[in-house]
A and B are shown apart, each in its own frame.
Chain A
Amino acid sequence: DIVMTQTPLSLSVTPGQPASISCKSSESPLHSDGKTYLYWYLQKAGQSPQFLIYEVSNRFSGVPDRFSGSGSGTDFTLKISRVEAEDVGVYYCMQTIQLPWTFGQGTKVEIK
């Protein structure tokens, strides 16, 4: 199985400051079709996960532009340019290049 490793596991950020989450996959999620099957989700407290980023760097509809994704190979990053109170929650990366599809263990973001 592909193992997705996120760091850090928790992050405390001052509002207005940037935040960065790393996701490393044990194998590259790059497919021969040219797509990289790497995604990001946010789960706020008591809620179901919400979709943020698809194929490494594309924001889903309605996701604020302060969220950005980047990376290649086996190393990927989710960045929040200026953290707001509503960004608090647990962030997960996910790969679907290979079954079983797997998530990272999650990174908890909180406000200082």
Chain B
Amino acid sequence: QVLLVESEGGVVQPGGSLRLSCAASRFTFSNYAMHWIRQAPGKGLEWVAFIRYDGNDKYYGDSVKGRFTISRDNSKNTLYLQMNSLRPEDTAVYYCAKDPSSGPLMDVWGKGTTVTVSS
């Protein structure tokens, strides 16, 4: 059964940076595209970023473009999200999710990690 485990989030000051990781197991990570999705407290889902299986195509949501960078290390079965110039409105639970390659869509999600941007 596919397993996705996000790294611990944390509290960051506005303007600060944080890197999230997502460890993938029980499937051939290098064959699948991946996503990051977030959910602000009490709000709905917002797609954040996508990366193709080989890392050669990346797409971002408008609210994070230019500040966040998605990447992956297929040798380590790990997905990353580098978040820079963080704002209070980036406060959310961040989920990584696998794309089954018939999408784009997300078929399996991690449990999520909480990022709080506050002074």
Show the binding face of A for B, using Cβ within 8 Å: 1, 37, 39, 41, 43, 47-51, 54, 60, 90, 92, 94, 96, 99-106
Contact = CB atoms under 8 A, between A and B. Distances in A.
Given A92-B45, A103-B45, A54 B110 contact: no
Contact of B62 (A1, A47, A54, A92): A1
Interface stretch (B24-32, B68-76, B77-85, B99-107): B99-107
Nearest to A100: B61
Interface of B is mostly: loop
Interface of A is mostly: loop
Interface of B: 37, 44-47, 50, 59-62, 95, 102-112
12 contacts: A37-B105, A41-B106, A43-B45, A47-B111, A50-B109, A60-B107, A96-B105, A100-B61, A100-B62, A102-B47, A103-B46, A104-B44
